[in-house]
A and B are shown apart, each in its own frame.
Chain A
Amino acid sequence: MNVLAGLGEFVRTRVLGAGYVFSLLLHTLTLLPRLPRRLRFFLNACHSAGVRALPVTMVVAMFAGMILALQTGIELRNYGQTGAIGTITALSMCREMGPFITAVVLAATVGSAMAAEVGTMNVSDEVTALEVMSIDPADFLVLPRVAALTVMCPAVTVFSNLLGIAGGSVVADFQLGISTTFYWNSVETALSDTANFLPKDIYVGLLKATVFGCLISTISCAAGLRAQGGALGVGAAVQSAVRNSVVMIIVAGFIITSFFYG
């Protein structure tokens, strides 16, 4: 009986949490016309979300591209297909790895910082102070952050894709013996799409990154706004923000992939 009660409580808490995130997202979307009034906070948030997170994301993306090229290259060599390494690396980075790696790094760095900032404000009465001044915390705190990460996640993803493919090129050249020119030619061919202005593999990847950015920021702000009980509560909010963001990145990534490629 206790197990059932515990399971019920677990499900209830998760459903309530998801409902809160969803309603916060809808409320924030209705506030979008007010974004110009939050321009200063929005630009600050863009700086924190994009510029500061860029170096670490680029390093991670470059090594991910190198690992991808090496692992697939070793297997392809057995079948004499190492020439496909540029195609495989480019498509993997643009469709899945670039947006995914960027989103996970942003969830761990920017999302956790958002949850900590908003959570600390919440437990130190600053959020209540906003309510007392008739200032909507979603307007003042959440809107600039969600807008910033929604814009910056695809922007950073572009750099991740480039660095990942470039990392693959280094491995292809030095460890697999494929010339740089050949590698980049196959990348160009793989990503070419004469039917669309932007190749599908790139725009679907960027769409994923946009959705990931929106999810990470909303989940993180929601976790902060629900933080209770001082430093411990803030710690728990950060933990749940990162955990739930990563889960939702995977789930949303699958849904978008299924929709466009399924």
Chain B
Amino acid sequence: MSANDSDKVPSGIQLRDVHKAFGDREVLRGITFTVPKGKNYVIMGGSGTGKSVTLRHVIGILKPDKGSVKVDGIEVPELDNKGLMQLRTRMGYLFQSGALINWLSVADNVGLPLREHQHQLSRTDVLDKVMSVLKMVGMDHAAEQMPSRISGGMKLRTGLARALVTQPEYVLYDEPNAGLDPITADQIHRLIVRVRDELSVTGLIVTHSTACAKLCGDVIGVAEQGRIVAEGTPLEMAKSDHELVRSFLSGGAD
């Protein structure tokens, strides 16, 4: 390794020995993994294994009790409000239910981060960007609809459009197929792959779905009791002898 290489700031997301407890309930117990830049990392695990809590550490909503959370070499828990704001402009977050603002239309929801932070953009520029990203997720026909009038899958696609409209480097996906039928879930999975391939966006996906992990993941980490117990490419995981991995990938946990 050359001197230049060792000086290089590590890119991607790194979590090292992260612990987090809520009261006496320990949710994360030393979770450690790395998401390489430009790849999709899937954390797979059952309910209550701390998957969503992990995502909230990466975006700085939660601070770990112990351990390190880095994004492009920046220690997230040490950031002040301004630093967190800057970090979050480089990240998108897709919530389980889409988490759309109920009184704003689909287009207004997607344009919200632009209107709030990119004041130099004209109304037309915002609308152009919104329509372009809505078209990518197949929601351009429903731009004027209100969230209460659209299906769960459409809400998720709108949520994804909102996460992508600021052209982030990273997108965090929290159970992107929760509560969806297999066909709609498959559409969302293919969108996640397109986002990685066409926009070079790094993805961190938490799911309990084998189909999602197999299709979207470049690397899969299986979580149990607040830590990653097995990790590898989908191919490596398919050959794994680990009991939990076999149980998940055989579809028993889907």
Task: Pick from A130, A132, A134 the residue with the most CB of B within 10 Å.
Answer: A132
Q: Are B93 and A135 in contact (CB under 8 A)?
A: no
Inter-chain contacts of A135 with B (CB < 8 A): 112-113, 116
Q: How far is the CB of A132 from chain B (nearest CB, A)?
A: 4
A21 sits at the interface (CB 8 A): no
B97 sits at the interface (CB 8 A): yes
Q: How far is the CB of A224 from chain B (nearest CB, A)?
A: 13
Quick one: which of B59, B103, B117 contacts A132, CB cutoff 8 A?
B59
Chain B residue nearest to A131 in the complex (CB)? B61
Given contacts A121-B102, A134-B117, A135-B116, contact A129 B95 (CB under 8 A): yes
Quick one: which of B59, B99, B112, B162 contacts A125, CB cutoff 8 A?
B99
Given contacts A128-B95, A128-B99, contact A134 B61 (CB under 8 A): no
Which residues B63-80 have CB closer than 8 A to chain A? none
Chain B residue nearest to A128 in the complex (CB)? B61
Q: Are A133 and B112 in contact (CB under 8 A)?
A: yes
Q: Are A134 and B95 in contact (CB under 8 A)?
A: no
Q: How far is the CB of B97 from chain A (nearest CB, A)?
A: 6
B132 sits at the interface (CB 8 A): no
Contact with A along B132-173 (1 / 0, CB 8 A): 000000000000000000000000000000100000000000
Chain B residue nearest to A127 in the complex (CB)? B99
Given contacts A131-B61, A134-B117, contact A125 B85 (CB under 8 A): no
Q: Are A124 and B99 in contact (CB under 8 A)?
A: yes
Q: Are B59 and A126 in contact (CB under 8 A)?
A: no
With contacts defined as CB atoms under 8 Å apart, how many contacts are there between chain A and chain B in the complex?
Answer: 45
Q: How far is the CB of B116 from chain A (nearest CB, A)?
A: 5
Query: Size band of the A side of the interface?
Result: 10 to 19
Distance, CA A134 to CA B97, complexed state (A): 19
Given contacts A133-B116, A134-B89, contact A126 B96 (CB under 8 A): no
B228 sits at the interface (CB 8 A): no
Q: Are A126 and B85 in contact (CB under 8 A)?
A: no
Inter-chain contacts of B93 with A (CB < 8 A): 129, 132
Inter-chain contacts of A124 with B (CB < 8 A): 97, 99
Q: Are B96 and A125 in contact (CB under 8 A)?
A: yes
Q: Are B95 and A125 in contact (CB under 8 A)?
A: yes
Q: Are A134 and B102 in contact (CB under 8 A)?
A: no
Chain B residue nearest to A139 in the complex (CB)? B116
Inter-chain contacts of A125 with B (CB < 8 A): 95-97, 99
Inter-chain contacts of B117 with A (CB < 8 A): 133-134
Chain A residue nearest to B114 in the complex (CB)? A133
Distance, CA A135 to CA B84, complexed state (A): 12
Q: Are A126 and B61 in contact (CB under 8 A)?
A: no
Q: Are B112 and A126 in contact (CB under 8 A)?
A: no
Inter-chain contacts of B101 with A (CB < 8 A): 121, 126, 129-130
B194 sits at the interface (CB 8 A): no
Inter-chain contacts of A131 with B (CB < 8 A): 61
Q: How far is the CB of B62 from chain A (nearest CB, A)?
A: 10
B106 sits at the interface (CB 8 A): no
Given contacts A125-B95, A128-B61, A128-B95, contact A133 B100 (CB under 8 A): no
Q: How far is the CB of B120 from chain A (nearest CB, A)?
A: 15
Q: Are A133 and B88 in contact (CB under 8 A)?
A: yes
A to B CB contacts below 8 Å, 18 in the list: A124-B97, A125-B95, A125-B96, A125-B99, A126-B99, A126-B101, A128-B56, A128-B95, A128-B99, A132-B88, A132-B91, A132-B93, A133-B113, A134-B85, A134-B88, A134-B89, A134-B117, A135-B113
Query: Which of A's residues lie within 8 Å of B, judged by CB?
Result: 44, 121, 124-126, 128-135
Top 10 A-B residue pairs of the complex, sorted by shortest distance between their CB atoms? A129-B99, A125-B99, A134-B85, A132-B93, A133-B113, A125-B95, A134-B88, A126-B99, A135-B116, A132-B59
Given A128-B61, A133-B162: 16 more A-B contacts, CB < 8 Å: A121-B102, A124-B97, A125-B99, A126-B100, A129-B99, A131-B61, A132-B61, A132-B93, A133-B88, A133-B113, A133-B117, A134-B85, A134-B88, A134-B89, A134-B116, A135-B112
